[in-house]
Amino acid sequence: MTNLPLAAILIGLGAGLGIGSALSATLYWNGCLFARGHVLAALAAQLLRLALAALMLVVLARIGATTLLASCAGIVVARTWSIRRVLGTLP
């Protein structure tokens, strides 16, 4: 069994929760732009939010694979919490 550094896991998980929360919050804002008919602004915002998320993941990948995997787990957890909050099923 390999010895995974705890600091790398915690850094990745924290960054992933932050990235996932930011993606969810900006997705709501982006959806509002689309609904109001501001298509070009919404497309630009979509491109910007995904580019920034990809940039953050590249930075985390440069730190190490453990950090990247932990951040991906954090993104999934934040996304799940966001969906449950919107649906009203979060305890």
Take residue 68 and report the two structure tokens written for it.
Answer: 């990247």
pLDDT digits (tens, 9 = 90+) for 3-17: 678 889 999 999 999
Burial 57-67 (b: 16+ CB within 10 A, else e): beebeeeeebb
- pLDDT for residue 2 is more than 60: no
pLDDT score, position 90: 59
pLDDT digits (tens, 9 = 90+) for 33-74: 999 999 999 999 999 999 999 999 999 999 999 999 999 999
pLDDT interval class at 28 (50, 70, 90): confident
